[in-house]
Amino acid sequence: MRFRFIPALALAIPVPALAAPVQPAQGMLQMLFGLIIVLGMLIGAAWLLKRFSIQQKISGGTIKVIAGAAVGQRERIVLVEIGDTWLLVGVAPGHVSALHTMPKADIFPGDMPISEKKFSSWLKQVLDKRA
């Protein structure tokens, strides 16, 4: 085995010489392939964080978004749980307003999960009462 010395190193550590030099095109392909893999892993990690909303689980706060419905291109109605209270909030660009407040046990007894069908029928009843 042949060794070559790199004079820039203060201790002159022997480094084994490569048997065959790497072709420039092959090195570029390896670098490009590695870059694609790293970018794919970053995009996948960002998608997983968004998909499973880990930031909400980590915070462990008292505010939970229960359900939401789009009522326009940029407007939404969101049902938010704060402790034992539910707030129906209208969200638009640059504006958030509380539409209705109710205790948690009024509509859904216990901790039963909310289905979108129940929420939409309840929302329709509330909007009909207001009109």
What residue spans of 1-131 are helical by DSSP H?
24-52, 54-59, 116-130
Percent of the chain with pLDDT over 70: 66
Contact 110, 128 (CB under 8 A): no
Beta bridge partner(s), residue 69: 77
Give the pLDDT band of residue 111 (cuts 50, 70, 90): very low
Q: What does the pLDDT look like over 18-27, one tens digit per residue? A: 555 657 778 8
CA 73 to CA 79: how far, in whole Å?
Answer: 18
**Which pLDDT value is given to residue 106?**
55
- Sorted by sequence, the CB contacts under 8 Å of residue 62 that are 6+ apart come out as 82, 83
Q: What does the pLDDT look like over 35-84, one tens digit per residue? A: 999 999 999 998 888 777 655 555 556 788 888 888 888 899 998 888 88
What tokens appear for 22 in the block? 């790497």
Contact 74, 92 (CB under 8 A): yes
pLDDT: which is higher, 51 or 2:
51
- Sorted by sequence, the CB contacts under 8 Å of residue 58 that are 6+ apart come out as none
The model carries a pTM of 0.40
Q: Does residue 114 register a pLDDT over 70?
A: no
pLDDT: which is higher, 122 or 7:
122
